[in-house]
């Protein structure tokens, strides 16, 4: 899937290519493509409907929206898969020598057939969650832009002459003020969106009651769990793995590597959880005391931070599971 077009490959269970091509990524050509697909000889003769043809798409963000919406409107079922997962499962550690859009479409089709039992069928999110995610991503971009602009000028104050640093600050003063004003509006919209939905409002209240967890992290948890429907309140361990904060073991024969986290996982969520854990280090909370105790025991800083990230996840899921405001005496077992 790309912004301008997508390549497709229709494949049967014997991995035979029945039809392939390229379609412009806009509604009219897509509906024409689906109409042609439903009339294919192979489908008509076997009396197969679109609801029985699983569409496997490369997850490329908003570029999939036209095809997803059109296919769902025709009663089809689909699965969004990250390209890295297809590569990992089909090629393993040996990377492909050749890569084209046409080959990628074939590989997605093969992946869908070989691992049909592992495909997670996609379901449309509720409109409120869609808006929440869109605003959260927009907020992140605004924060990043403001950071990109302000960090160099702040450093200029310390290392350049007053005339140079003042010139740089003045050049972007109005821009920064405008960005901060718009960022404030986004924050207000986020608050309003959650306040208007009783279910999300309750989730948000429970999650932010956990010491160290702020608004941005609470919203990200709600988004990534789809309101605790993709990850239920009893799936804290699975969510920790998804977040990339679960140390992995690597062992072969006598070789045994110390457990450590991988670079995989939800990077946005992992970053937010790190900020949450770091914000607690100088306080008097239970996790702050835990950090200082582990430091005295000689544990590595990042190892402790990761353990704190895991504990925060356990507590978030515990308050949602028990439907009570955070209490240090709660049972934090993942169940």
* CATH number of the domain encompassing residue 74: 3.30.420
Confidence band of 94 (pLDDT split at 50, 70, 90): low
User: Is the residue at 265 inside a domain?
Assistant: yes
User: DSSP characters for 94-154?
Assistant: S--S---HHHHHHHHHHHHHHTGGG-----PPPHHHHHHHHHHHHHHHHHHHHHHHHHHHH
User: Is the residue at 205 inside a domain?
Assistant: no
Q: How many domains does the chain have?
A: 3
pTM value > 0.85: no
Q: Are residues 225 and 315 in the same domain?
A: yes
Each residue's pLDDT tens digit, 141-195: 999 999 999 999 999 988 889 999 999 999 999 999 999 999 999 999 999 999 9
- Tell me the average pLDDT across 36-44: 92
Each residue's pLDDT tens digit, 130-151: 999 999 999 999 999 999 999 9
User: Is the residue at 203 inside a domain?
Assistant: no
User: Is the residue at 148 inside a domain?
Assistant: yes
Q: How much of the chain exceeds pLDDT 90, in percent?
A: 71
The residue whose two tokens read 């192979």 is 42
Each residue's pLDDT tens digit, 214-245: 999 999 999 999 999 989 999 999 999 989 88
Res 310: pLDDT: 95
Res 118: pLDDT: 86
Q: Are residues 91 and 14 in the same domain?
A: yes
Beta bridge partners of 5: 24
Tell me how far the alpha carbon of residue 136 is from its chain's centroid: 12
Tell me how far the alpha carbon of residue 133 is from its chain's centroid: 10
User: Is the residue at 304 inside a domain?
Assistant: yes
Res 330: pLDDT: 61
Res 135: pLDDT: 96
Helix, coil or strand: residue 127: helix
Range of the structural domain that residue 166 is part of = 127-196
User: Is the residue at 164 inside a domain?
Assistant: yes
Tell me how far the alpha carbon of residue 176 is from its chain's centroid: 28
Each residue's pLDDT tens digit, 201-218: 999 999 999 999 999 999
Confidence band of 59 (pLDDT split at 50, 70, 90): confident
Res 125: pLDDT: 79
């Amino acid at each position: 899937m790309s912004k301008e077009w997508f390549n497709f490959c229709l494949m049967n269970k014997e991995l035979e290519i029945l039809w392939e091509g390229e379609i412009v990524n806009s509604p009219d050509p897509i509906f024409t493509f689906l109409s042609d697909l439903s009339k294919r000889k192979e489908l008509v003769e076997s009396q197969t409907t679109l609801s029985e043809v699983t569409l496997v798409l490369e997850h490329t963000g908003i570029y999939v929206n036209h095809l997803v919406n059109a296919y769902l409107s025709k009663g089809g079922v689909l699965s969004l898969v990250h390209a890295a997962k297809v590569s990992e499962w089909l090629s393993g550690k040996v990377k492909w020598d050749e890569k084209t859009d046409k080959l990628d479409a074939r590989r997605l089709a093969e992946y869908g057939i070989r691992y049909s039992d592992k495909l997670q069928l996609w379901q449309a999110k509720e409109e409120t969650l869609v808006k929440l995610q869109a605003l959260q991503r927009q907020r992140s971009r605004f924060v990043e832009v403001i950071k990109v602009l302000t960090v160099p000028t702040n450093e200029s104050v310390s290392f350049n002459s007053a005339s140079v640093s003042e010139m740089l600050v003045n050049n972007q003063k109005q821009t920064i003020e405008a960005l901060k004003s718009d960022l404030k509006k986004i924050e207000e919209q986020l608050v309003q969106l959650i306040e208007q939905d009783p279910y999300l409002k309750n989730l948000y209240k429970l999650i932010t009651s956990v010491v160290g967890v702020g608004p941005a992290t609470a919203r990200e948890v709600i988004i990534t769990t789809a309101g605790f429907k993709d990850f239920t309140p009893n799936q804290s361990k699975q969510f920790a793995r998804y977040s990339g904060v679960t140390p992995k073991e690597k062992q072969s024969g006598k070789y045994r590597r110390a457990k450590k986290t991988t670079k995989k996982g939800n990077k946005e969520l992992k970053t937010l959880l790190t900020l949450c854990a770091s914000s607690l280090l100088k306080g008097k909370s239970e996790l702050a005391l835990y950090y200082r105790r582990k430091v005295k025991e000689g544990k590595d800083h990042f190892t402790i931070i990761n353990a704190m990230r895991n504990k925060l996840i356990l507590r978030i899921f515990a308050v949602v599971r028990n439907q009570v405001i955070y209490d240090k005496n709660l049972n934090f077992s993942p169940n």
